[in-house]
A and B are shown apart, each in its own frame.
Chain A
Amino acid sequence: MGTLLRLATAGSVDDGKSTLVGRLLHDTRSVLTDQLAAVERVSRDRGLPAADLALLTDGLRAEREQGITIDVAYRYFATAARSFVLADCPGHVQYTRNTVTGSSTADVVVLLVDVRKGVLEQTRRHLAVAALLRVPHVVVAVNKIDLVGFSEDAFRRVDAEIRQVALDLGVGDVRAIPVSALDGDNIVERGARTPWYAGPSLLEVLESLPPSGDPGAESFRMPVQLVIRPQGAARDAAHRDYRGYAGQVASGVVRVGDEVVALPSGRRTTVTGIDLGTRELAEAFAPQSVTLRLADEIDISRGDVIAAADGAPEPVQDVSAVVCWLGDAPLRPGQRLLLKHGSRTVRALARTIDGVLDLDDLHSVPADALSLNDIGRVTLRLAAPVPVENYAASRRGGSFLLIDGHDGRTVAAGMVGATLRTGVVPAPTEPEGNEEWQI
């Protein structure tokens, strides 16, 4: 069976993002007859000359009425090479939180840019989000190339602009493709109308990206979701004394016989068994959901982390992090919140706000509050030690939520120790560097 790639799309209003997604679905033959018939009927009712593929993803009434995308829509398609989960994220500036949502799990972000408009504030914001969230790959679809007469110069100008911003932000891996989402040029097939572009089509790129992460190269971590101890409730009397620690392996590999450490207690023990339902495994690796049996009945409960005995992270109470603030009311120093990391939720105090990212020049500037959609650095004090890791080293071990304890709302996406670039601009690279692009 092929691999699964998670992609998120982002772009500004009217860049044609829904059209691009519709085109990808349509041209990979992932749209079924009844869905297409519904789109054609609605398009006809509205007096459009052709089927509006954006209607495939704009599922909500308000979206159809306003011709915009409001919320993240998830779509599924497959080619002979692999399957895709696509998070289609809206481009409105006030909906940045949805782009953060879509990017947090993405292997690749496909960013739409209108070739006539070039890099806009939202483009910078989306690239900043992709860089901060450490999305491994970014593909920029330079759209509406048909509206500039398939001009190579127009594409090169936007391409150079994107590369500059990506360098400023530290986006690792970025490449641009000239496309027409409306007509399908360079989406699935390479377009004959852009003979000056020798690179692959968008789908070819998506099919060839390597799947993320090799568990064998990471350290083992597993947040404990629950302790399974059926006692008298066991359906089978043989399991009355069963005691297992259930969770999803966040990183690395664990084998029967491995020495592990429970955090934050620091107590050590050995793995004696690994269960996945009724099957016994010799090893488990990220991201499998399993249940571990241990040699000693040490005190481990929900929220603890079981880690490889060597190099386990130090539980800490003071955390410096970058947060995307998603709450309606601003974050101010002294505010009390809940922090959820792995399966642990602890009380947290926002001690200081250490800066906010100015998206115009990409500098961190002093601020005394973070408003909705701001990205800034904060220092938090936690009520109990938590074994956080640097987000740069581990997406799973370094990510957390901030939650409003009163109404339960998620108000921030946090990344431990993630750095804000401060506008140091490296030398520009050649726009012809497409062929050297690493995948």
Chain B
Amino acid sequence: MSATTTLPTRDRPAEPPRPDRRTQSDAPGTGASRRAPEAGSAAYASARRLTQLDLLESESILVIREVATELERPALLFSGGKDSVVLLHLAAKAFWPAPLPFPALHVDTGHNFPEVLDFRDATVERLGLRLEVARVQDYLDDGRLRERADGTRNPLQTQPLLDAIAHHRFDGVFGGARRDEEKARAKERVVSLRDEFGQWDPKNQRPELWNLFNPRHRPGEHVRVFPLSNWTELDVWRYIEREEIELPSLYYAHEREVFRRDGMWLADGPHSRPRAGEVFETRRLSYRTVGDMSCTGAVESSAATVADVVLEVAASTLTERGATRADDRISEAAMEDRKKEGYF
């Protein structure tokens, strides 16, 4: 059959870039200035149809409001990465003009890009949010955790995260994970129960019906909540474009000293030094995900603006994780195994 002989490319046809950014934000139902057509006319009926982005936005806001009001002490995972930035933007919209009724939580691997940490701090400052940081480095310093042989720290985030949840008595944690990212995530509910050990049991998940979300749980358990579950990478980028959401600069093309490892461009940093035979080159690159510097690769890119990125993502033949995340290449079930232990 053809699957073995043809390598399809992704030409997600979708829509071409809009020359005028305002076209979409003035789409039906979202623009106060738009003059409403006469009731009963054909134009009126078709005007009351939400675009894909409006549908996704509305669903996310529904989830955020519902869970935040049903729970006692939620928190929102915020790393400065694009998905968590979009999540925070949606949360701010959900409660406007009141401030967010929960703090932000960041699990700091100690391997973060400095510009992302600066962005994180500036963002919580601007929104007047309380930021709690759980540091992997603290755990390494006092021996509660040990560095892995491969040097990556993403898997080490689980224990500091679970400890922070217990310490602050958070009963729900919002995360920016999307189902299109990875096979195990594709199976997870929007509101996902964790037992008293923080574990996910994929074979015993609650049914999630209509748009009725149920975050109830027993004491000691908590829920993870993924309002962006139904967004794709391309949706996220289109929404960033439409809403003019600011991101850390390394999402856009820039010159950087990098070296090549396992088919990825890695940046120079205290925790990602080139090994013997790996040499520095200066390349024009951008990042599609930002995380642990030691295992997050950049892609060669000339996308200087968000509109350029939308085009690049639409034409890409690789998933963002396949392109740039060494830690997901470990095994077929790497993400599932981490999630079962309490990873986000």
Closest Cβ–Cβ distance, residue B50 to chain A (whole Å):
7
Q: For the complex, is B317 an interface residue (Cβ under 8 Å from A)?
A: yes
Q: Which of A50-58, A107-115, A419-427 contacts B (4 or more CB under 8 A)?
A: A50-58
CB-CB under 8 A for A183 and B65, given A30-B12, A229-B98, A287-B55: no
- The residues of B that contact A35 with a CB separation of less than 8 Å are 319, 322
- The residues of B that contact A283 with a CB separation of less than 8 Å are 29, 36
- The residues of A that contact B336 with a CB separation of less than 8 Å are 59-61
Closest Cβ–Cβ distance, residue A243 to chain B (whole Å):
10
Within 8 A of A (CB), among B1-57: 1-4, 7-15, 24, 27, 29-32, 36, 39, 44-45, 48-55, 57
CB-CB under 8 A for A29 and B96, given A34-B319, A282-B32: no
- The residues of A that contact B298 with a CB separation of less than 8 Å are none
Q: For the complex, is B187 an interface residue (Cβ under 8 Å from A)?
A: yes
- The residues of A that contact B3 with a CB separation of less than 8 Å are 26, 36, 39-40, 50-51, 53
- A35 vs B203: C-alpha distance when bound (angstroms): 23
CB-CB under 8 A for A74 and B186, given A235-B97, A399-B209: yes
A399 touches which of B4, B58, B210 (Cβ 8 Å): B210
| A34 pairs with B318, CB closer than 8 A | yes
- A287 vs B10: C-alpha distance when bound (angstroms): 31
A62 touches which of B15, B99, B183, B203 (Cβ 8 Å): B203
A70 touches which of B2, B203, B232 (Cβ 8 Å): B203
Residue of B nearest to A62 (CB): B203
20 more contacts with CB within 8 A, not counting A29-B8, A50-B1, A278-B96, are: A29-B11, A30-B12, A32-B318, A36-B7, A57-B183, A71-B203, A71-B205, A74-B186, A76-B180, A76-B230, A76-B232, A101-B208, A226-B69, A229-B98, A236-B97, A239-B97, A248-B211, A277-B92, A279-B32, A408-B214
Inter-chain contact total with CB atoms closer than 8 Å: 248
| A225 pairs with B65, CB closer than 8 A | yes
- The residues of B that contact A36 with a CB separation of less than 8 Å are 3, 7-8
Closest Cβ–Cβ distance, residue A378 to chain B (whole Å):
16
Question: Which 8 pairs from chain A and chain B are nearest by CB?
Answer: A59-B183, A408-B216, A34-B322, A230-B98, A277-B93, A289-B61, A239-B97, A51-B3
Closest Cβ–Cβ distance, residue A398 to chain B (whole Å):
10
- The residues of A that contact B337 with a CB separation of less than 8 Å are 61
Chain B residues packing against A (C-beta within 8 Å):
1-4, 7-15, 24, 27, 29-32, 36, 39, 44-45, 48-55, 57-59, 61-62, 65-66, 68-69, 92-99, 128, 179-180, 182-184, 186-187, 202-203, 205-212, 214, 216-218, 229-230, 232, 316-319, 322-323, 332-333, 336-337
A61 touches which of B1, B52, B333 (Cβ 8 Å): B333
Within 8 A of B (CB), among A386-433: 395-396, 399-401, 403, 406-410, 413
- A409 vs B223: C-alpha distance when bound (angstroms): 12
CB-CB under 8 A for A282 and B203, given A83-B52, A233-B98, A289-B61: no
| A101 pairs with B209, CB closer than 8 A | yes
| Complex interface bits, A12-50 against B, C-beta within 8 A gives 1, otherwise 0 | 000000000000001001111111101110100000001
Residue of A nearest to B316 (CB): A32
Closest Cβ–Cβ distance, residue B164 to chain A (whole Å):
23
- The residues of B that contact A30 with a CB separation of less than 8 Å are 10, 12
| B97 pairs with A234, CB closer than 8 A | yes
| A76 pairs with B207, CB closer than 8 A | no
- A285 vs B49: C-alpha distance when bound (angstroms): 9
A410 touches which of B209, B230, B318 (Cβ 8 Å): B209
CB-CB under 8 A for A97 and B186, given A64-B332, A71-B202, A216-B44: no
Closest Cβ–Cβ distance, residue A220 to chain B (whole Å):
12
- The residues of B that contact A53 with a CB separation of less than 8 Å are 3
Q: For the complex, is A214 an interface residue (Cβ under 8 Å from B)?
A: yes
- A431 vs B53: C-alpha distance when bound (angstroms): 40
- The residues of B that contact A57 with a CB separation of less than 8 Å are 183, 186
- The residues of A that contact B61 with a CB separation of less than 8 Å are 248, 289
| A182 pairs with B36, CB closer than 8 A | no
Closest Cβ–Cβ distance, residue A167 to chain B (whole Å):
26
Closest Cβ–Cβ distance, residue A126 to chain B (whole Å):
15
Closest Cβ–Cβ distance, residue A270 to chain B (whole Å):
18
Q: Which of A1-9, A158-166, A308-316, A358-366 contacts B (4 or more CB under 8 A)?
A: A1-9
| A246 pairs with B209, CB closer than 8 A | no
Q: For the complex, is A302 an interface residue (Cβ under 8 Å from B)?
A: yes
| B214 pairs with A401, CB closer than 8 A | yes
CB-CB under 8 A for A215 and B48, given A289-B94, A410-B214: yes
- A61 vs B200: C-alpha distance when bound (angstroms): 14
Most chain B CB within a 10 A radius of its CB, from A183, A184, A281, A288 = A288
| A32 pairs with B58, CB closer than 8 A | no
Q: For the complex, is A352 an interface residue (Cβ under 8 Å from B)?
A: no
Within 8 A of B (CB), among A214-231: 214-216, 225-226, 228-230
CB-CB under 8 A for A246 and B65, given A32-B317, A228-B95: yes
Q: For the complex, is A141 an interface residue (Cβ under 8 Å from B)?
A: no
| B9 pairs with A235, CB closer than 8 A | no
| A228 pairs with B98, CB closer than 8 A | yes
CB-CB under 8 A for A78 and B45, given A35-B319, A72-B187: no
- The residues of A that contact B59 with a CB separation of less than 8 Å are 287, 289
- A194 vs B221: C-alpha distance when bound (angstroms): 54
- A281 vs B58: C-alpha distance when bound (angstroms): 15
B50 touches which of A235, A288, A340, A401 (Cβ 8 Å): A288
- A53 vs B2: C-alpha distance when bound (angstroms): 11
- A407 vs B193: C-alpha distance when bound (angstroms): 11
- A26 vs B317: C-alpha distance when bound (angstroms): 13
Residue of A nearest to B61 (CB): A289
- A97 vs B206: C-alpha distance when bound (angstroms): 9
Residue of B nearest to A25 (CB): B8
Q: For the complex, is A98 an interface residue (Cβ under 8 Å from B)?
A: yes
A400 touches which of B1, B94, B99, B212 (Cβ 8 Å): B212
- A72 vs B29: C-alpha distance when bound (angstroms): 32
Q: For the complex, is A205 an interface residue (Cβ under 8 Å from B)?
A: no
- The residues of A that contact B68 with a CB separation of less than 8 Å are 226
Residue of B nearest to A255 (CB): B36
| A409 pairs with B69, CB closer than 8 A | no
| Complex interface bits, A93-108 against B, C-beta within 8 A gives 1, otherwise 0 | 0000110110011000
| Complex interface bits, A65-96 against B, C-beta within 8 A gives 1, otherwise 0 | 00000111111101110010100000000000
Q: For the complex, is A434 an interface residue (Cβ under 8 Å from B)?
A: no
- The residues of A that contact B15 with a CB separation of less than 8 Å are 1-2
Residue of B nearest to A236 (CB): B97
- A242 vs B98: C-alpha distance when bound (angstroms): 9
Q: For the complex, is A253 an interface residue (Cβ under 8 Å from B)?
A: yes
| B32 pairs with A235, CB closer than 8 A | no
Within 8 A of B (CB), among A268-308: 275-285, 287-289, 291, 302
| B29 pairs with A281, CB closer than 8 A | yes
- The residues of B that contact A395 with a CB separation of less than 8 Å are 210
- The residues of B that contact A248 with a CB separation of less than 8 Å are 58, 61-62, 211
- The residues of A that contact B179 with a CB separation of less than 8 Å are 74-76
Closest Cβ–Cβ distance, residue B99 to chain A (whole Å):
5
- A71 vs B68: C-alpha distance when bound (angstroms): 27
